[in-house]
Amino acid sequence: MTTPKTLASAQLFLREQAARIEIDPLTNSVFALAQTLFRDLERGDAKISDLSKLADEVHLDLIEERAERFRDQHSGGKAKTAWASLTEELEALAGQGFEAFKARVEQATGGIVFTGHPTFALSRDLRTALADHVVSATKTSRTALQRQIRADSRAWNQQISLQGEHDEVQDAVEHAANAQLAYASVLISVARKAFPDDWRSLKIYVPTIACWVGYDLDGRADIHWSQSLTFRLTEKAVQLGRYAAQLEAISGSQKIGPLAKLTQRLKTAAEDTAGHAALFAADLTDPDNLVPAANALTAPSKRNVLDASEIVDVLDEVIATAEDGLAAKLMAIRAQVEALQLGTARIHLRVNAAQVRTVINRDLGLQTEDRELGRLALAELAQKARKSKPVQVNFADLFLEQSTARRQFMMCAQILKHIDAGSVIRFLIAESENPATVMGALYLARQYGVDDKLDISPLFETPEALETGGRFIERLLEEPEFLAYVKQRGYLSIQLGFSDAGRFIGQVAADMAIERIHNLIARALAAKGADVDLLIFNTHGESMGRGAWPGSFEQRFDHLLTPWTRGGARARGLQLRHEVSFQGGDGFLHFANPNLAEATMAAWCSHTLSDPEDRSEDPFYTRTDLVWDFYRSLRAWQERLFVNEDYGRLLGAFSSGLTVKAGSRPKRRAAGPVGPRSLRAISHNATLQQLSIPVNVAAGIGSSLQREMDRLVELIDASPRMTRLILLATRARVLTSLPALRSYAKVYDPGVWVAHSKLADQDKANAYRAVYYALRNTETAVSMNQIANFLSVDLGKFDRLLAQLQSAPSIEARHEGRLDLHVLHAVRQALIMKAFSIVGGLPRLSERHDASSRDLVEMVAELRIGEAVSLLREIFPHSRDQDTPLTALTEAGNESKAQASYGYDRIHKDVIAPLDEIDRALHGISLAVTHAYGAFG
């Protein structure tokens, strides 16, 4: 049979091999294709470039499918279509009368948060090409995609830095801000038409835009406080310049005194702020650099703008008397200034609860880990917070402070004092499991005089926090000091982490637990009758492994904050504010160009303005016995998987090499737990995707409530909420391939290499035996097969459940849906085997190189092929070009040196170059796989 070198021929090969399963139940079509491709490479019937081209063809197929899904989600990629739909909704709202319209459009409803987790797997050029293709699919855009797919992006991934992430997020923020203005313009246009006498009186609310890139210290120690301040000063300079440019463009040739004066003032302040940013960009660990930077920023200056209210006051003055067109434009800018203040986005600072506890334990001598949820510590901290008097800080205090938590509070104080006095800063506390930690943060906020501008927000993401979060908030609200703080702020802020929750207990169980905690906290807050809002920030990301629904925006946002939760809060008289995250490179795609940004913003505004659908009859909320039995069973199954030793080996062996560097934050925690817990949520999910087993979404359901399967089927068919949850799992099931996992186990099975050696000539046989010796004592293959067997039993039960549902893809559809991925996995496995063969055939290395041939085989086994290439280049240098300065020597020497080899050109040609080509191809395959899931991780 000829080598399957095209996608169509490879798919046909897979179908033919899969058909043999009725004869041989151990048939594995993926490994059959991998073996065929590998043998053809070894015989010379195929080249590495042939397999690279095949992988690129699949990559293009998958990315075009992703673009199509993205296009459907974003109103066909057309902003006009999205705004037209929202205009109809606003006109219907206006039909309810001015007071109803005013109440809705002036109400704070939440916003969008840009976060910077490691989801920058695709190069920026490829993401730009993808976004362009979404908006306008043409031959030109397709050619641009092909060009970027074929490009070697390994250097891109290696150079990812915090600065680069900040540059990218600021581009996304700019598009979001323009979309924010577009929404304000649409809203004001509807108001002008519907209420010609009253529209000027509106103080409209636009969705907030926030960002934690450069301010998130959870899990990283590489962000110096001066870098965060440099970012903030840079952002202020940019935003002041934008405000000035907007006012200049609007006023045009009109000479409106107050606007002209304000415009010039903003330009001057922007210039000064840019100068301050340049000073803070120096190495501020050196006091000689710190002093001039601090003195310049803190020096009294009439040129500085410290509070956005100065801008708002001028706009209000002009709006009152301006002609209608100008007034409408100024009202839109006014709304944006209120939302953004003096930065491009609001700040989200994030620390870990452990960092706050360190201050409480060390500085105050309080323990927060007693069984009563820290009751004694909580009460004492409440008393300290009540008596706390603000202390003055300067930049010397920041310079000298060693505690991360204290340093962040000091930085808040300096930002509010010297950069943006009206800014609202979110202070997120990750891994919150104890209310005393939040009270400790309030004590510190009071100590540094920032409690009136700081929203202290616990993040519930661990299994413990999801179980106790409701009581956590109840206990905090019982403290008069905390309740007074919430009243002062006007709302209670909480954050829910879909990422880690889904990693620990499975995504479906996590979604159920998060909805429950939403409602428990809403109930606790409403019971206080405090007349405050509840702000819920759902950090969910882009892929199914982080809770982002793969369908429409309406489904996605309803999945995060369900109609049941929204309706329940409304029934209790509680106003919800909803914030959602768009994470990293994949999240920024939604704002990659103006059309996508505006379509995303329009969908978000539609969500926040809409009335929740009545779900009171949904049996998910009435059959609580069955629902929560299902939840407990599913959670227990996922928790057993997470601590399974084979699962830990699966995630810790070669599989980490399948993922590319996708962010400036490390994949694993540098300290703390080992095993799967050390792997960060997105890296964990990405690894599962690369193995074709997104089991934290797809698995466990089949094993839940087996004795009540009929009742579970009835519930799924009858309940919109349960249907959506199962559809999420079903989508993951379509992308789950145990044959692919078992095929990787075959690649790492020592017995396979022994079998190959028996059929090979002497040189190849020696190489294959070298691979056998390197793999024979590893447990990788055994663990993969053990996990495959474990999953096979569960997923078989899930398949039987799906077969009984009214709407679920057939087995045939699921098999067809996996063919593209199967081709990619087979190509990857063939290339890994070829890399094994190449390094297995290396000669013995000199001891002076501090590396052996066995070491190189083991590096390939861990997919550290790039490192192996670098090491081989060091051990076997290229021949020197004869035309070098050495030719100028006058002393006679060996006349035949022109023909002599002073390097290792053959090894470069036969070993190093092919390995580098394989490394490049494997990198591209890792990127291609992400498109099937819609994101990295």
188-207 pLDDT tens trace = 999 999 999 999 999 999 99
CA pair distance 803, 342, nearest whole angstrom: 56
Average pLDDT over residues 712-716: 95
Does the structure show a pLDDT above 90 at 470? yes
Give the number of residues written for the chain. Answer: 937
What was the pLDDT predicted at 368? 61
Region 735-741: mean pLDDT is 97
**Torsion angle (degrees, nearest 10) of CA 444, 449, 450, 455:** 50
Provide the pLDDT for residue 309.
98
Q: Does residue 452 form part of some domain?
A: yes
What three-state secondary structure class fits 418?
Answer: helix
Reply yes or no on whether the pLDDT at 363 is more than 80.
no
- Computed over every residue of the chain, the mean pLDDT equals 93
For the chain, how long is the longest CA-to-CA vector?
A: 101
Nearest-angstrom CA–CA distance, 383 and 466: 28
Q: Is residue 900 pLDDT above 60, yes or no?
A: no
Residue 400 shares a structural domain with residue 499: yes
Position 371 pLDDT exceeds 50 = no
Residue 888 has pLDDT above 80, yes or no: no
Segments forming the whole domain that contains residue 416 = 346-539
Q: Is the pLDDT of residue 456 over 90?
A: yes
- Using only the alpha carbons of the chain, give its radius of gyration: 30
Flag whether 160 is in a domain: no
- Output the CA torsion sign for 485, 488, 491, 494: negative
Domain's final residue, options 539, 560, 588:
539
CA end-to-end span of the chain? 37
Alpha carbons 145 and 1: distance in angstroms, whole number: 32
The CB density around residue 327, as the number of other CB atoms within 10 Å, is 20
Q: Which of 36-40, 68-72, 879-883 is the least confident region?
A: 879-883
The mean pLDDT value for 783-788 works out to 97
* 770 vs 593: CA distance, rounded Å: 52
Position 883 pLDDT exceeds 80: no
Q: Which residues of 796-830 are buried (b: 16+ CB within 10 A; e: fewer)?
A: ebbeebbeebeebbeeeebbeebbbbbbbbbbbbb
Please indicate, yes or no, whether residues 268 and 353 belong to a single structural domain of this protein.
no
Condensed to tens digits (0 to 9), the pLDDT of residues 278-303 reads: 999 999 999 999 999 999 999 999 99
Other C-beta atoms closer than 10 Å to the C-beta of 290 total 20
Instruction: Please determine, for residue 805, whether its predicted confidence score (pLDDT) is greater than 70.
Output: yes
Question: What's the mean pLDDT in 404-420?
Answer: 97
Cα separation of 831 and 850, whole Å?
A: 27
Same domain, 408 and 499: yes
Q: Collapsing DSSP states into helix, strand and coil, what is residue 898?
A: helix
At residue 545, the pLDDT reads 82
> Within this chain, do residues 388 and 457 fall inside the same structural domain, yes or no?
yes
> Is the pLDDT score of 898 beyond 90?
no
Q: Read off the pLDDT band of 846 (50, 70, 90).
A: low
534 with 426, same domain: the answer is yes
| Main-chain dihedrals φ then ψ at residue 662, nearest 5 degrees | -130, 15
Query: Can you say whether residue 568 is alpha, beta or left, with left for phi > 0 and alpha for psi between -120 and 50 degrees?
Result: alpha
Q: Exposure pattern of 885-913 as b/e (b: 16+ CB <10 Å)?
A: eeeeeeeeeeeeeeeeeeebeebbeebbe
The Cβ-side half-sphere exposure at 271, using a 13 Å CA radius, reads 6
Question: How much is the average pLDDT of 449-456?
Answer: 97
Residues 298 and 374 in one domain: no
Structure tokens at 737: 């391939």
Lowest mean pLDDT among 78-87, 325-334, 418-427, 804-813: 804-813
Q: Is residue 26, in this structure, part of any structural domain at all?
A: no
Return the percentage of the chain with pLDDT > 70, whole number: 96
Kindly indicate the confidence band of residue 905, based on its pLDDT and cuts at 50, 70 and 90: confident
Domain contains 656: yes
Long-range contacts formed by 873-880: CB under 8 A, 24+ apart: 873/908, 873/912, 874/849, 875/845, 875/846, 875/849, 875/851, 876/903, 876/904, 876/907, 876/908, 876/911, 876/912, 877/903, 877/904, 878/903, 878/904, 878/905, 878/908, 879/903, 879/904, 879/905
**Helical residues (DSSP H) of 209-323, grouped into ranges:** 225-251, 257-280, 287-298, 309-319
Please tell me whether residues 317 and 358 are part of one structural domain. Answer: no
Report the domain count for the chain.
3
Of the chain, the percentage scoring pLDDT greater than 90 comes to: 83
Provide the phi-psi class of 932: left if phi over 0, else alpha when psi is between -120 and 50, else beta.
alpha
Q: Which amino acid is at 673?
A: P
Residue 683 lies in a domain: yes
From residue 555, how far is each of 88, 219, 420, 727, 815 by CA, in Å?
20, 31, 37, 11, 26
Mean pLDDT of the 501-517 span:
96
Query: Residue 901 — very low, low, confident or very high, per pLDDT cuts 50/70/90?
Result: very low
Q: Are 300 and 403 contained in the same domain?
A: no
What value does the mean pLDDT take over residues 742-751?
97
- The pTM score is 0.95
Residue 670 in this model has a pLDDT that exceeds 90: no
Residue 369 is predicted with a pLDDT of 58
848 pLDDT higher than 70: no
Residue 370: is its pLDDT beyond 60?
A: no
Residues 268 and 383 in one domain: no
Q: Does residue 903 surpass a pLDDT of 70?
A: no
DSSP annotation string for 496-508: EEHHHHHHHH-HH
Which run of H or E residues covers position 878?
A: none
pLDDT tens-digit profile of 302-347? 999 999 999 999 999 999 999 999 999 999 999 999 999 999 999 9
**510 and 649 fall within a common domain:** no
Residue at 100 is within a domain: no
Q: Is the pLDDT of residue 811 over 80?
A: yes
Residue 361 is predicted with a pLDDT of 86
Specify the residue for token string 């996605």: 556
CA distance 930 to 752: 29
In a domain, 718, yes or no: yes
123/901: higher pLDDT: 123
Where a domain ends, among 486, 516, 539?
539
- For residue 584, is it left (φ>0), alpha (ψ between -120 and 50) or beta? left
Does residue 566 belong to any structural domain of this protein?
A: no
Question: 372: pLDDT confidence band, cut at 50, 70 and 90?
Answer: very low
Residues 287 and 356 in one domain: no
The three-state DSSP-derived secondary structure of 509-522 is HHHHHHHHHHHHHH
pLDDT of residue 899: 45
| Whether residue 682 has pLDDT greater than 80 | yes
Q: Do 353 and 337 fall within a single domain?
A: no
pLDDT at 105: 98
